[in-house]
Structure 1
């Protein structure tokens, strides 16, 4: 149970009454707190941290996603670095929900990015800086130019 509390935040999408039982309409799932960057302002680590186990994610999805309208696959870390990330995506897409992902867009997996676009996933990209020098200082890696090809998918 502590794993569930640690990895998921559940909140209602709005204050309007729901016709769908009493379950939340918006689900925010913390998939991981691992990251591929070393931003000085962030608590994440590229080597420490955990990943929400896929079986637990499936269990949560079965309990919450049928009544939801919106599922956000996010994390304090970078969800796209999770081995088998597309398995998590498949689980979410098995339900009639709008799926969103927040990412730093640095991971070089062109087929994954293309699939996210094809599936109509809302992808939010976190930049923090518009120049390569400031990006390197804030993100701990010279990765600004790696983001642009991802955003073009």
Structure 2
């Protein structure tokens, strides 16, 4: 009897990448890798690599736990996932990390930006709108574990510190600021004022590479000096910081170990986040050539950084 060249592993729901129609999808194991396959009646067959380490992919399910639901659901089911916006009653999980986008605008025009942010795109949210967003999170979470203030570039909002003041009146356990670091580096007194919001406050700092050519590719300009000045100021204040690295295969994935070594030497740095580049927005990267799966990121960490072994890198249930 004929045998398929793959092993069926699971079934899920996905979207057609062309028309965004909901389609069924199979998770299969083929050639020691994990793929998602799906078929759209109008646009045909699609196959996507989702993991390069089969054993690890299977093992991460052992970290599942009973879901924690929101205190309040936002809306009812009208069209079904993913077409209903917000937390509907079908959601299995509460918001582990809530992001409040206070502005669409940015002081950069990054070629990799999935949000299309720029100095002229969109608008700043009003303080009233922003407080409503905070209140909506509190309504569903009670005491939110983590809320991240983001954008665009949130530090260019004309009422930026008023936003932080509002956030600090809410029962938020940990507040994060997602920033490219330009104002921290260049504005006298800015970092010092940020430090007044500690503890339970953290800088989520863009940090992609040590190579100017990579920064120019990702951010549209060489931000080497900006990064150094910002981290020097954060070190002086010992203000809790996470370095955030956009990864693109063949561009900066060979710097993972060097970035981890650097982070370990910085007084302010508490962690490093590696984010594979999002093929969306302004980013026209060839997904087949540059996409990195999380299992590939994990393997490169192990290959390049000897202080960690496979048992150190595990999923964190929310």
Q: Which range, TM-score by smaller chain?
A: 0.7 to 0.9
Pick one of 162, 166, 170 that aligns with 1:95: 170
CA contact under 8 A between 2:100 and 2:134: conserved in structure 1? no
Alpha-carbon distance between aligned partners in 1 of 2:136 and 2:213, rounded to the nearest angstrom: 45
Pick one of 214, 226, 242 that aligns with 1:146: 226
**Bigger fraction of residues in helix:** 1
Report the CA distance between 1:91 and its aligned residue.
Answer: 0.4
Larger radius of gyration: 2
> Which gives a bigger RCO, structure 1 or 2 (Cα 8 Å, sep 6+)?
1
Structure 2 gaps, min length 5: 1-64, 74-93, 235-318
Alpha-carbon distance between aligned partners in 2 of 1:56 and 1:146, rounded to the nearest angstrom: 31
- TM-score where L is the length of structure 1: 0.75
Tell whether 2:189 aligns with 1:111.
Answer: yes
Alpha-carbon distance between aligned partners in 2 of 1:34 and 1:21, rounded to the nearest angstrom: 32
Pick one of 106, 109, 124 that aligns with 1:35: 106
Alpha-carbon distance between aligned partners in 2 of 1:60 and 1:37, rounded to the nearest angstrom: 25
Pick one of 139, 154, 158 that aligns with 1:83: 158
CA contact under 8 A between 2:100 and 2:133: conserved in structure 1? no
- TM-score where L is the length of structure 2: 0.39
1:51-96, CA deviations, whole angstroms, 9 ceiling, x for partnerless residues?
1111111223234336123211012x11111111001111001123
Structure 1 gaps, min length 5: 1-13
**Helix, strand or coil: the match of 1:64?**
helix
Residues 101 and 15 of structure 1: CA distance in aligned 2, closer, same or farther (over 3 Å)? farther
Residues 15 and 44 of structure 1: CA distance in aligned 2, closer, same or farther (over 3 Å)? farther
1:88-138, CA deviations, whole angstroms, 9 ceiling, x for partnerless residues?
111001123110111110122342322323322211111222123432343
**Count of matched residue positions in the alignment of Structure 1 and Structure 2:** 138
Report the CA distance between 1:145 and its aligned residue.
Answer: 0.3
**Bigger fraction of residues in strand:** 2
Report the CA distance between 1:15 and its aligned residue.
Answer: 5.9
**Helix, strand or coil: the match of 2:155?**
helix
Q: For the aligned residues, what is the CA RMSD?
A: 2.4
Pick one of 207, 211, 228 that aligns with 1:131: 211
In the TM superposition, what are the counterparts of 1:15-34 in structure 2 within 5 Å?
16-17=67-68, 21-22=71-72, 24=94, 26-34=97-105
Alpha-carbon distance between aligned partners in 2 of 1:71 and 1:93, rounded to the nearest angstrom: 11
Pick one of 129, 135, 138 that aligns with 1:62: 135
Alpha-carbon distance between aligned partners in 2 of 1:39 and 1:29, rounded to the nearest angstrom: 20
Alpha-carbon distance between aligned partners in 2 of 1:17 and 1:45, rounded to the nearest angstrom: 37
Alpha-carbon distance between aligned partners in 1 of 2:204 and 2:162, rounded to the nearest angstrom: 20
**Helix, strand or coil: the match of 1:141?**
coil
